[in-house]
Structure 1
Amino acid sequence: MAPSVAGYYANKSIFITGATGFLGKVLVEKLLRCCPELEAIYLLMRAKKGQSSEQRLEGFLKSSVFNRLHGENPQCFKQLRLVPGDILADGLGISDDLRETLRKECQIVFHCAACVRFDMPIKDATALNIRGTQRVLDLTEGMTQLEVFVHVSTAYCRSELPELEERVYTTAHKPQDVMRCIQWMDDELLAHLQPKLIHPRPNTYAYTKSLAESLVAQYEGKFPIVIARPSIVAAALKEPLPGWVDSLHGPTGLLVAAGKGAVRTILTKEALTCDIIPVDFVVNGCILAAYNTGINKPKEIQVVNLTVSRRNPVTVGELIDMGRVHVQEFPFSQCLWYPGGSQKTSRLHHQVALLLTHLLPAYLLDLMLALLGQKTFMVKMQQRISAGLQTFQYYWLNEWHFHNDNFLALRGQVSKEDDDTFYTDIKMVNWNSYIRDYIFGARTYCCKEDPATLPQARILQKRLYYLDWAAKIIFYSLCAYFLVHYITIFLSVI
């Protein structure tokens, strides 16, 4: 008889990369809370911005993601073990003593570290996503008690395909060849070759993640492997807190920018289904996939697409409409303008809206700041926003079907109690209440705005609403005036 999930993880040691990321934090919290008999969790953590690895661990434990554990079971943090190192360093920058400890004691590896910027240069994306994965695999191969290696990828690794099956796809380029090329090519040559190299993938993120999967596949048969492919990872549904999110990457950045009035137009198709999945479902899926693979020890690589896949569909238009409603309830304290705007289906309409609602106001505000002797910032900010909109536009104008039978089957491998604890049934998501919690979470945990500031924020939003209408009335009145004026001149000439 198979043990419970917590029973399987009991007395085991786990090595995690990317623990300080959005997904990594939730994974660590869930393991500590729901698998209390774990032996140890080893966290690879590098020094950053003048902070040592030890100082970063202290800051890591102060994250709001661990608030519940600090109140209920503060002793659990003794299970955490710091591994000073760097995914970009040879041998991961791990000392010989710690490397030997990891090889002797670890049974499970979660490789979550990755570059999540879509527009990162090919050299940097390769260093993080491919060469970093190679270094983790080199360490993993020497682990004498290894039971399962979990590689966190993305459902958009082959985004040129309208359907993605739960299998590893062959790639046109070998990862080792790409790594060798990147080593000797200079930045200018790489920038010239990048579009051709990554084609037909839309960006370096998708390209390097697909090559990382190909690299992992070369270790098939050496140890049990599972590749977890989440789609668009967003705020938590329930755990550790409803709406919890601490990263502005992906949809959260767009939500905050739109909520602050900085984004007023996006080019998309309202009827497109959006495959967005809460981070707690992704974490539960990874934990269950590791459990299932560790129990059954298959020789072949297991691939699990952690996706909604139309089981509880929601469209882009519905998400935008729900966001427009709930940002009235939880407005941001600092806004550039009233959070209005809309989605556009016409590229020309979108470009005109960008000019009128993004660029022209930015130039006018910077002109006023310059005249007052203040530092200008709006044009640069709007240029960054426009570049971000252009980068994500590919995903707002296309739709994919992700096969996820392996993901759905995970529920059948565990007891009812474990299914409740490590929930993965996407049908339990009520999208309206989820978006409500998402906006509150982005405001509270990402923007660090205290809920006590909500009354004042609502007053500000009401003022911005009237100001927005006044600006529209003035603009359309001027347009009407000049239209009538020039028509009159034209008729008089005729």
Structure 2
Amino acid sequence: METLTLKPFSVMPSIKCGWRSLSTLSKVSMRVVACSGALKPSISTERVSSSSVVVRAAESVVLAPPNGKSDEIAVKSLVPYVDMDEDGGIGIVKFLRGKVFFITGATGFLGKVLIEKILRTAPDVGKIYVLIKAKDEEAAAERLKNDIINTQLFKCLRQIHGKYYMSFMMSKLIPVVGNVCESDVGLHVDFSHLIANDVDVIVNSAANTTFDERYDVAIDINTKGPSNLMEFAKKCSKLKLFLQISTAYVNGQRQGRIMEKPFCKELDVESEMKLAFEDNGMGQNMKELGLQRAKRYGWQDTYVFTKAMGEMVIDEMRGEVPVAIIRPSVIESTFKDPFPGWMEGNRMMDPIVLYYGKGQLTGFLVDPNGVIDVVPADMVVNATLAAMARHGRAPRPSMNIYHVASSVANPLVFHRLADLLHQHYDSSPCLDVDGTPIRVPSMKLFDSVDDFSNHLWQDAARRCASTPDGKLSKKLEAICKKTVEQLKHLADIYQPYTFFNGSR
């Protein structure tokens, strides 16, 4: 990275250089400075800090004295900066500047991408309080470092700030012990008062995304969590926006065009929460209960049902709190920012892709001409930031909903996805335990449950025939049977998505 040098200089800047403003961040001053090199030339002021100055201009820069010298200032280019208000945009960077955030679910996949984008785009953001489930402050700080600061996702920020990276991150990210499932989101009373008086934007990204999770577990975080957080939001004296990360599939099994509107409350959420937390000894049946309740009211699984109830609770409780809800479809790896292809954990599509690549799944239950609605994580974050800028300074509180999806603008048809997967594994096969490439056939797509089930058993029979005596040991036979049942269960869980005909 190129390092420039600022030295005392007496020429005033030209207006057309595009420099917007200087913000001094310390009391130590020098007479004038000038900037030249990769950045636009000619910037000066009568009194400029020699220790730490943020220049908001055609490029954002951070200035700091190298090696303690008072007559020079090292300059590092951060990110392209454009005043969006002046260039016909909605002023995202301008909105982020100086704002204080309170983010839940920040150690999760999307939460991390959001934090990285904020810090890289607006290094002069205020603070970001990060709610972390931990036993104490020390454990929360450790999770912040391990799950966020030291992860690969932040390598661009690390390159930008160099040896000052850790100090920059720790000055912006404040770990806070808490839990959205608890009253006052589990905050210590001192932190509760501090954040309530300080925060501008609350982002709820905390969620349990398991489709067939226990009903009590899913309701606790996906429904009760937003309720607890909204209760806290109503105590925040300067709050400009409550932003909820939801899912496009809260729309349930509706078909056709689906509008960006809140739900008409057609069920008693309080009764559902009471049912989930009753001490009725149901134990493992909690999974079945969640699926039963979801399907009774028109949702396909426990995850989207409890997320939908979370939206209902927010709408019912919000009062004068401005709300924006982001409903993304299937979130997958980053498209561009901070770099292409970043992924963490197994997302919705990944188990199918991995099973296929390992030769364990040669077909799947889908509508071959159906569309899988996938959207990259960084595009979801971009939409989230745009919603913040648009509604975080609205004159009147309102509730606004945005679907972030691809099925209309850039549809990915299942048979095309199957072709792409085969091309990928044909050129870059997985390896078995012996290091031998695993060659996979073209994936077969079935629109009938019976046909798919028959295919799974026929595939298992072929595996049996491939053994020396054409028979499987009882242990191996049991493993094959279990695998078939797992794949059938996977197909059953995914069926509402692989045959979905809604457009957003």
TM-score range, shorter chain: 0.7 to 0.9
Deviations 1:323-358 (A, max 9, x none): 211223333345795333321233332111111225
Q: Tell me if the contact between 1:148 and 1:226 (Cα under 8 Å) persists in the aligned partners.
A: yes
Q: CA deviation at 1:268?
A: 1.1
Distance across 1 between alignment mates of 2:439 and 2:411: 29
Is residue 2:172 matched to residue 1:77? no
Is residue 2:188 matched to residue 1:95? yes
* 1:364–1:212 Cα change, 3 Å: farther
TM-score (norm 2): 0.73
Q: CA deviation at 1:46?
A: 1.3
Matches within 5 A, 1:237-316: 237-316=335-414
Secondary structure at 2:339 match in 1: coil
Match of 1:54 among 134, 141, 150: 141
Matches within 5 A, 1:384-399: 384-399=486-501
Q: Tell me if the contact between 1:226 and 1:302 (Cα under 8 Å) persists in the aligned partners.
A: yes
Supply the AA of the counterpart residue of 2:150: K
Other-structure match for 1:231:
329
Secondary structure at 2:250 match in 1: coil
Q: Tell me if the contact between 2:203 and 2:244 (Cα under 8 Å) persists in the aligned partners.
A: yes
Matches within 5 A, 1:81-230: 81-162=174-255, 163-188=257-282, 193-198=289-294, 199=296, 200-230=298-328
Structure 1 runs of 4+ off > 6 angstroms? Answer: 362-366
Q: Tell me if the contact between 2:213 and 2:287 (Cα under 8 Å) persists in the aligned partners.
A: no
Q: CA deviation at 1:13?
A: 0.8
Which runs of 5 or more structure 1 residues have no equivalent in the other structure? 403-494
Q: Tell me if the contact between 1:224 and 1:297 (Cα under 8 Å) persists in the aligned partners.
A: no
Q: Tell me if the contact between 1:266 and 1:350 (Cα under 8 Å) persists in the aligned partners.
A: yes
* 1:58–1:90 Cα change, 3 Å: same
Q: CA deviation at 1:382?
A: 4.8
TM-score (norm 1): 0.74
Other-structure match for 1:416:
none
Other-structure match for 2:33:
none
Q: Tell me if the contact between 2:183 and 2:228 (Cα under 8 Å) persists in the aligned partners.
A: yes
Which runs of 5 or more structure 2 residues have no equivalent in the other structure? 1-84
Instruction: Name the stretch that deviates more: 207-216 or 173-182.
Output: 173-182
Distance across 2 between alignment mates of 1:345 and 1:59: 44
Higher helix share: 1
Distance across 2 between alignment mates of 1:305 and 1:140: 24
Q: CA deviation at 1:389?
A: 2.3
Higher strand share: 2
Q: CA deviation at 1:309?
A: 4.0
Supply the AA of the counterpart residue of 1:277: V
Secondary structure at 2:264 match in 1: coil
Distance across 2 between alignment mates of 1:76 and 1:159: 43
* 1:241–1:158 Cα change, 3 Å: same
Q: CA deviation at 1:368?
A: 4.9
Deviations 1:256-289 (A, max 9, x none): 2222222221011111122111111101101110
Larger RCO (CA within 8 A; separation ≥ 6): 1
Match of 1:65 among 131, 134, 153: 153
Other-structure match for 1:13:
100
Secondary structure at 1:98 match in 2: helix
Q: Tell me if the contact between 1:107 and 1:148 (Cα under 8 Å) persists in the aligned partners.
A: yes
Q: Tell me if the contact between 1:150 and 1:228 (Cα under 8 Å) persists in the aligned partners.
A: yes
Distance across 2 between alignment mates of 1:140 and 1:63: 30
Other-structure match for 2:450:
348
Supply the AA of the counterpart residue of 1:197: R
Other-structure match for 1:486:
none
Q: CA deviation at 1:312?
A: 1.7
Supply the AA of the counterpart residue of 1:182: A
Instruction: Please give the root-mean-square deviation of Cα atoms over the aligned residues, in Å.
Output: 2.7
Secondary structure at 2:392 match in 1: helix
Distance across 2 between alignment mates of 1:141 and 1:362: 62
